[in-house]
Amino acid sequence: MYNRYTKLEYLEGFIGNLVSKLKKAAPRFELGIKDLQSSALPLGHAAARDLVESLNDPTSNASHSLLIISNGHGEDVIALEIIKRFLKKTNIKAIEVMPLVGNGKIFDSIKSKNFRKIGSLKDLPSGGFSNQSIKGFLLDFFSGFIVDTFKNFLILSRKSKDNLKIIAIGDLLPLFFAWSSKCKFSFLGTPKSDHTWSNGPGWALSDFYHKFKGSEWDPWEMFLMKSTRCKSLIMRDELTANNLNKKMINAKYFGNPMMDFVDKKNEKVSNIIKYNRLILIIGSRFPEALNNLDIFLNCLEDLNLSSDLIIFVPLSINANTSTIKIHLKNNGYLKENNLKFMIGEQSVWKNKDKYILLGKSTFSKWANMACVGLSNAGTATEQITGLGIPSVSFPGAGPQFTKSFAKRQSRLLGGSVIVCENKRTLLDNLESLLNKKVYRVKQAKIGMKRMGKSGASKKIVDYINLSLLT
Does residue 313 form part of some domain? yes
Based on the fold, state whether residues 169 and 235 are members of the same structural domain.
Answer: yes
Based on the fold, state whether residues 89 and 176 are members of the same structural domain.
Answer: yes
Does residue 136 form part of some domain? yes
Is the model's pLDDT at 49 over the cut of 50? no
Based on the fold, state whether residues 306 and 201 are members of the same structural domain.
Answer: no
Based on the fold, state whether residues 311 and 221 are members of the same structural domain.
Answer: no
* Total tally of structural domains belonging to the chain: 2
Based on the fold, state whether residues 192 and 170 are members of the same structural domain.
Answer: yes
Q: What is the distance of C-alpha 316 from the center of its chain?
A: 14
Beta partners for residue 50, in sequence order:
121
Is the model's pLDDT at 45 over the cut of 80? no
Based on the fold, state whether residues 244 and 329 are members of the same structural domain.
Answer: no
Tens digit of pLDDT for each residue in 123-156? 666 555 545 556 656 666 555 567 878 888 888 8
Contact between 173 and 149 under an 8 Å Cβ cutoff? The reply is yes
Is the model's pLDDT at 26 over the cut of 70? no
Is the model's pLDDT at 203 over the cut of 80? no
Of residues 266 and 400, more confidently modeled: 266
Does residue 260 form part of some domain? no
Is the model's pLDDT at 64 over the cut of 70? no
Contact between 135 and 114 under an 8 Å Cβ cutoff? The reply is no
Does residue 262 form part of some domain? no
Does residue 303 form part of some domain? yes
Q: In angstroms, rounded to a whole number, what is the distance separating the alpha carbons of residues 460 and 468?
A: 11
* Percent above pLDDT 90 for the chain: 39
pLDDT of residue 140: 62
Tens digit of pLDDT for each residue in 85-117? 998 876 677 899 999 887 788 898 888 888 999
* Listed range (139-143, 166-170, 461-465) with the worst mean pLDDT: 139-143
Based on the fold, state whether residues 35 and 104 are members of the same structural domain.
Answer: yes
Does residue 261 form part of some domain? no
Based on the fold, state whether residues 428 and 403 are members of the same structural domain.
Answer: yes
Main-chain phi, psi angles of 283, to 5 degrees: 95, 165
Distances (CA, A) of 97 to 103, 105, 172, 223: 11, 11, 17, 25
Q: In angstroms, rounded to a whole number, what is the distance separating the alpha carbons of residues 159 and 106?
A: 24
* Listed range (40-49, 127-136, 248-257, 403-412) with the worst mean pLDDT: 40-49
In terms of Cα–Cα distance, which of 136, 128, 134 is closest to 104?
128
pLDDT of residue 34: 35
Section 397-418 average pLDDT: 83
Based on the fold, state whether residues 289 and 247 are members of the same structural domain.
Answer: no
The pTM (predicted TM-score) of the whole model is: 0.78
* Percent above pLDDT 70 for the chain: 78
pLDDT of residue 46: 34
Main-chain phi, psi angles of 54, to 5 degrees: -70, 145
Cα-Cα-Cα-Cα dihedral sign, residues 87, 93, 96, 97: negative
Does residue 14 form part of some domain? yes
Based on the fold, state whether residues 326 and 418 are members of the same structural domain.
Answer: yes
Based on the fold, state whether residues 97 and 174 are members of the same structural domain.
Answer: yes
**Domain that residue 354 falls in:** 267-451
Based on the fold, state whether residues 385 and 424 are members of the same structural domain.
Answer: yes
Q: What is the CATH number of the domain that holds 29?
A: 3.40.50.2000
Is the model's pLDDT at 292 over the cut of 70? yes
* Listed range (58-67, 109-118, 132-141, 363-372) with the worst mean pLDDT: 58-67
Section 238-261 average pLDDT: 91
Does residue 227 form part of some domain? yes
